[in-house]
Structure 1
Amino acid sequence: MKAVQFVHTLNYGDAISGEAIALKRLFEERGWEAKILALHAHEKVKHLAEIWHGTAQQRAELESLRSDDLIFNHYSIASPLNDVFGELVGAKRALLYHNLTPPHWFADYNPRVHAALKQGARELPALLALSDVVLADSEYNRQELVELGCRDVRVLPLPLDRKKWDVPANSGITRVLSGHGGVNVLHVGRLAPNKCVEDIIKAFYFYHHKIERNSRLWLVGIDIDTELYSFELRRLISKLQLREAVTFVGSVADSELRAFYENSDVYLCMSEHEGFCLPLLEAMYFKLPVIAFDACAVRGTLGDAGVLLTEKDPAVTAELINLLAADSDLRRDYISRGTSRAELYFEERFAELVDSVLMRQRPHTMEKSDTKVDDESGRAKAQSWA
């Protein structure tokens, strides 16, 4: 049997890409012939993917797939691969919904991404209707699909792949973070407007200037396609006199990211749109207490294992950072909860879920619905006729 995954871009360190790689390994362990098709691939993982050029040979290979083979589409944005997915009828088609960032977040920063997200929302209902199996990687995402009229949508969460961390922590970064003897606050993720990194910076302003001067904020993540937003963040840091205390780290290797997780004191997330938020799990796995704004899928991922904020008050958030960094009993409690929470997402559990929801899943059905898409929210609304 064969399994072909469609991923728009196979990135290094990206959550969706990590799941695609984990699935490829899992399929191969079960004796399947597995491949990942992508339009683009990062240099460090391009050996794991075949770049889609739409050649006659590539199309012929896909068209030769049989009913016991699988085409698996990771859906998060408009992509030419979605058109290919829609055209193939020989193999079983599975769609895993990773959520679409509402387009309005990118309206002022990147017209191309803004348009692609709007197009993605318009494409989604038709792709759901032709899929044999529909999955979502969080309960929040599943509910969005239910609103579109999908039935029998199962949840396949992103895995916490411990094999990724079979590398020693980078010693240089370890020395830098532990060497200044103060408090390290960490955030991991793309510098994207929906992540609301400015709210992290504002909370850190109060913590650094009013509570603990010996503190650093580390922002780990790329700003590809969000350069204008990244410039705004840097301007804010200068305005708040934080240039010596805040570091934009950029893209890092797994060994470097491990060093950041292991040597930080508090993890802070102020995002207002998340379909899952894997860094929350990674932080808990590395025994790092988490503070996160309660938005979208964050509560479902974090559970009761972190501090959930229901409003954004930077001064209050700064006090919470101080509590988690300084109160050893409180810190120990959240570390214990986080460790237990992270275990629910280990790769063994992921493998069991794949067998349950994918290998033996019956085809889903769609209610007949009048689907309308709000171009700026990106949410497709459905009024059921059933």
Structure 2
Amino acid sequence: MEVHQLVHTLNYGDAISGEALAIQRMLRAEGIGGSIISIHAHEKVRDKVVRWAGSAADRQRLEALSRKDAVILHYSIASPLNDLYRGLQQTTRAIIYHNLTPTRWFRGYNDRVVRDLEKGIAELPELVRDSDIVLADSTFNLQELQSRGATGGSVLPLMLDEEKWAAERPNEGIRALLSGNDDVHWLHVGRLAPNKCIEDIIRAFYFYHHKINRRSRLWLVGIDIDTELYAFELRRLISRLQLREAVSFVGAVADCELRAFYENCSLYMCMSEHEGFCLPLLEAMHFGLPVVAFNACAVGETVGDGGVLVEDKQPAELAELANAILTNGEIKHELIERGKQRARAFGGEHFRSIFRERVLSALMRADEPQHPEATNAHRWA
């Protein structure tokens, strides 16, 4: 048996890519071979993938697979790999739905992204219908599938990779920069995308910085590829609010640098209004950062009781809340401990257990003879 994974782009530090790599490690530990097949790959993980060029040789290799073999599609965008997945009817097919951001968030910022999302939404019903196993990484994502007519399916949460983080030594330069004074450091990690509503973090930080504590800084860690216009708007807002010396756009960072940010910042703030999971929330809690997050989509499901969930984004109130957390040792300590406990619930052992129960066992059973009425259990009505 072989299990191959289809990932449009295997990135360094990306949540979906991290899950694909974790699954590959687990499969190999079980003695099961297979590749991660990608169209694009970051240079740091290029040796982990088989690049898909759509050549005759590529197709012949996959067409040789049988019902005893499986293909897992990580679905988050329209991709030529989706057509490949549909054509592999001789294999057992599993889809993991990582969510598609509603197009309204990107209108006016990037027409190509809007078209890709529209195509992704249109392709989703057929892909689910053709799948033997349907998975989503949150209940929110699974309910979204079901609201579109899917039946069946189960949740495979994203994994907090404690082993990866334990192996990374925090960057000394960033550690020294953040810990060398008594300044308060707010942190947000994630792509600079409109659905993240980073402008709401900036507005809250404006009140905190100008009205409560001038010795404070906001760090925005993440790329703005395909969202350059939105990032320009954020920079213009920062200038208008006289925060240019207090807000830093960090861009992409290595894991050792990200660990240094997590370990040495004071507070993690998330005001996103559309998330299918939001792994940085777990990472922040794992490293002992108090978390304040807007309760939207899958955010509340991920945070649980490990952070403070807010229903309103009034900037002055968010600033006061942040100050209350940071200046009350008892509250801060309780949040840190609850956050660490919450993060442990998504650790590697838990993920491996769920993967074996909900995915691997199903893949093992898939090549067994079935009654006609038992096939294609996950249908699109």
TM-score range, shorter chain: over 0.9
User: 2: CA distance between counterparts of 1:242 and 1:281?
Assistant: 28
Unaligned runs of 5+ in 2: 367-374
**Alignment of 1:365 onto 2:377:** yes
Distance (Å, rounded) in 1 between the aligned partners of 2:51 and 2:3: 16
Q: 1:364 to 1:142 in 2, by over 3 A?
A: farther
* Structural RMSD (CA): 1.1
State the 1:11 CA deviation.
Answer: 0.7
Corresponding residue number in structure 2 for 1:272:
273
Letter of the 1:50 partner, please give it: V
Q: Does the 8 A contact of 1:184 with 1:215 survive in 2?
A: yes
Structure 2 CA distance, aligned partners of 1:256 and 1:324?
25
What TM-score results when the alignment is normalised by the length of structure 2?
0.95
Residue aligning to 1:189? 190
Contact 1:64 / 1:90 at 8 angstroms: preserved in 2? no
Query: Partners in 2 of 1:211 and 1:358 — Cα distance?
Result: 50
Answer whether contact 1:67 1:91 (CA < 8 A) is retained: yes
What is the TM-score with the length of structure 1 in the denominator?
Answer: 0.94
Paired residue total:
369
Tell me the CA shift for residue 179 of structure 1: 1.8
Alignment of 1:77-96 (within 5 A): 77-96=77-96
Helix, strand or coil: the match of 1:360? Answer: helix
CA–CA distance in structure 1, aligned partners of residues 164 and 111 of structure 2: 34
Q: Which residue number corresponds to residue 21 of structure 2?
A: 21
Amino acid at match of 1:348: E
CA apart distance, 1:368: 5.8
Aligned equivalents of 2:302 and 2:29: distance in 1?
Answer: 27
**8 Å contact 2:150–2:379 — kept in the other structure?**
yes
Structure 2 CA distance for aligned equivalents of residues 368 and 210 of structure 1: 53
Report the Cα offset of residue 291 of structure 1: 0.2
Residue of structure 2 in register with 1:289 after alignment: 290
**Partner residue, 1:377:** none
User: How much does 1:180 deviate?
Assistant: 3.2
Q: Secondary structure at the match of 1:308?
A: strand
1:216 alignment partner, SS class: strand
Cα distance in 1 for partners of 2:248, 2:261 equals 12
Q: Deviations over 1:354-379 (max 9, x none)?
A: 1101122376634563xxxxxxxxxx
Q: Distance in 2 between matches of 1:274 and 1:111?
A: 21
Aligned to 1:157: 157
Query: Structure 1: any 5+ residue segments left out of the alignment?
Result: 370-386
Residue 163 of structure 1: how far off its partner (Å)? 2.1
Q: How far apart in 2 are the matches of 1:180 and 1:117? A: 44
Whole-Å separation in 1 of the counterparts to 2:325 and 2:183: 14
Bigger drift between 289-298 and 148-157 goes to 148-157
Is the CA contact 1:152–1:364 (under 8 Å) kept in the aligned structure 2?
no
Matching of residue 9 in structure 1 with residue 3 in structure 2: no
Per-residue CA deviation, residues 123-163 of structure 1 (Å, 9 max, x unaligned), is 00010000000000001001111223323211000000112
Given that residues 189 and 222 in structure 2 are in contact (C-alpha distance below 8 angstroms), is that contact kept between their aligned partners in structure 1? yes
Q: Is the 8 A contact 1:150 1:364 kept in 2?
A: no
Q: 1:47 to 1:140 in 2, by over 3 A?
A: same
Distance in 2 between the 1:328 and 1:181 partners? Answer: 15
Counterparts of residues 177-256 of structure 1 (less than 5 Å):
177-256=178-257
Is 2:61 aligned against 1:56? no
Structure 1 counterpart of 2:371:
none
Q: Distance in 2 between matches of 1:364 and 1:338?
A: 40
**CA–CA distance in structure 2, aligned partners of residues 324 and 264 of structure 1:** 14
Amino acid in the other structure paired with 2:94? A
Matched position secondary structure for 1:243: coil
Alpha-carbon distance in structure 1 between the residues aligned to 2:65 and 2:150: 26
Aligned residues with identical type, % of pairs: 56
Matched with 1:378 is none
What displacement does 1:187 show? Answer: 0.3
Aligned equivalents of 1:95, 1:5: Cα separation in 2: 10
Contact 1:74-1:96 at 8 Å conserved across structures? yes
Alpha-carbon distance in structure 1 between the residues aligned to 2:178 and 2:324: 20
Given that residues 129 and 380 in structure 2 are in contact (C-alpha distance below 8 angstroms), is that contact kept between their aligned partners in structure 1?
no
Q: In structure 2, what is the equivalent of residue 354 of structure 1? A: 355
Task: Show CA shifts across 1:271-298 (max 9, x none).
Answer: 0000000000000000111000010000
